[in-house]
Amino acid sequence: MIDEIGGPLHENHYPVGWAWAGSSPFQWMKRVPSHFGGTRNGMVISWPAKITDSGGIRTQFHHVVDIAPTILEAAGIPEPEVVNGTKQTPMAGVSMGYSFADAEAPGTRHTQYFETGGHRALYHDGWVAASFHGAPWVLTGSVGFDDSTWELYNIEEDFSQAHDVAAENPEKLAELQAMFDEEAKKFQVYPLDDRFSERARNPERPSVTRGRTVFTYAPGTTRIPEGSAAPAYQRSHTIIAEIEVPQGGASGVLIANGGSSSGYTLYLENGVPVYEFNFFGKDLYRVAGETPVGPGEHTVTMVYEQLPFEPGNEVTGGTARILVDGTEVASGDVEKVVPSRYSATETLDIGMDLGATVTPVYREQAPFAFTGTIKQVTVELQ
């Protein structure tokens, strides 16, 4: 699929092999902060009034948390202690401003911890203690922390962490491991949790949708993150779109959630109501009427009924019916449905389908904005 990468079909994601290769010369890639791959990046700072050696290079070690303090210092603004009546947690970063006038100035970022999904590391004055915690493309399960292995690198001499010197420097490794523990306690890293997809489904995670069964969206509502949209996954639900069609008819999206990776869309195609469900880009289920919706005020409804789950089938689907002003105009099977998440980056949109479109039918007309008037769209969950 190399010719498709960078196009509308893959959410600008690419296969693991390319991610790994693109992180050379580092050992690993994004989601593995213990080994810098995909996480150690150059940064460009431009400030002609203060930085005189245009194109100059600074090699002091810094972290993303240092950017905000740098901007505040440059603007002459103190770090806020209270915002809108809420006491602020002190920033963890330090300013990089000291390096603007002196490329050889000693660095002020002496220590920095890293932790993502159980991958841990501690940087301190040129040394890095690192604990790799499993292949980053394994997105479910937990391996625990009983058998963690720590490595040691001198990145002043070994930029890409190619040579583990833990065996030759056991005292230095122990020192950095103890420092990681201190930093982890200071910045609320504990308790460690090496799960990935399960954390998104954690019932204790804050949610704006939990417990709600009715979601009403106004016209022009776009880019609602999927995690904050009506969770219609594998459950019976109804979509009710109250619209007005002008003389001459209307086309366009009424509601869409997801994108080319998977999702659903309810739209008018030359006035004809259509519902499509995209199953991971593998199957596209289409239910469509035969007659265009005429001018005037109408209610277009899609009723999805979830079938009982088949043993061992995590993608059991159901049936979809389309009604116009209460009269059924189409029905069909949706054999497979997505169990928990349509995409990593797509959103719910009313009146258009932003990003990569759910269906290729209107991809060339994206975002295929509705040419009539939407009064509101309601999603009711069973």
Q: How far apart are CA 27 and CA 7, in angstroms?
A: 28
Q: pLDDT (tens digit, 9 = 90+) per residue, 244-277? A: 999 999 999 999 999 999 999 999 999 999 999 9
In sequence order, which residues have a C-beta less than 8 Å from that of residue 223 and are 6 or more positions away? 347, 349, 354
Burial class (CB in 10 A: 0-12, 13-18, 19+), 57: exposed
* CA gap 238, 245 in Å, rounded: 21
Q: Write out the two tokens for 222.
A: 């776009």
Q: 211 Cβ partners below 8 Å, 6+ apart?
A: none
Per-residue pLDDT reduced to its tens digit, 54-102: 999 999 999 999 999 999 999 999 999 999 999 999 999 999 999 999 9
| Sign of the four-CA dihedral 179, 182, 183, 189 | positive
Where does the chain have alpha helices with state H?
16-22, 67-75, 170-186, 197-200
| Residue for token pair 């009403």 | 216
Extract the tokens encoding 300: 């277009």
Q: With a cut of 90, say whether residue 11 has pLDDT above it.
A: no
The confidence band for 380, taking pLDDT boundaries of 50, 70 and 90, is very high
pLDDT at 18 over 90: no
Return the structure tokens found at 323.
């009604």
Taken as a whole, the chain contains a residue count of: 382
pLDDT at residue 46, as a whole number: 95
Identity at 251, one-letter amino acid code: S
Per-residue b or e along 120-145, where b marks 16 or more CB atoms closer than 10 Å to that residue's CB? bbbbbeebbbbbbbeebeeeeeeeee
List the one residue out of 313, 231, 220, 291 whose CA is nearest residue 264.
Answer: 231
CB atoms within 10 A of CB 382: 12
Measuring CA to CA, which residue among 240, 156, 200 is closest to residue 343? 200
Can you give the pLDDT at residue 161?
95
Looking at mean pLDDT, say which of 1-5, 24-28, 284-288 comes out highest: 284-288
Return the closest-CA partner of residue 131 out of 110, 113, 108, 156: 113
Spatial distance between the Cα atoms of 153 and 149, rounded to a whole number of angstroms: 14
Structure confidence at residue 15 (pLDDT): 80
Asked if residues 107 and 116 have their Cβ atoms less than 8 Å apart, the reply is: no
Task: Give the tens place of pLDDT for each residue, 109-159.
Answer: 999 999 999 999 999 999 999 999 989 889 889 999 998 999 999 999 999
Region of residue 174 (phi > 0: left; psi between -120 and 50: alpha; otherwise: beta): alpha
Are 265 and 353 in contact by the 8 Å Cβ rule? The answer is yes
Compute the average pLDDT of residues 231-237: 96
Which residue shows structure tokens 């790994």? Answer: 20
pLDDT of residue 70: 97
Answer yes or no: is pLDDT of 279 > 90: yes
Q: Cβ(369)–Cβ(253) under 8 Å?
A: yes
Q: At 201, list the tokens.
A: 């489904």
Residue with tokens 């759910």: 358
pLDDT of residue 245: 98
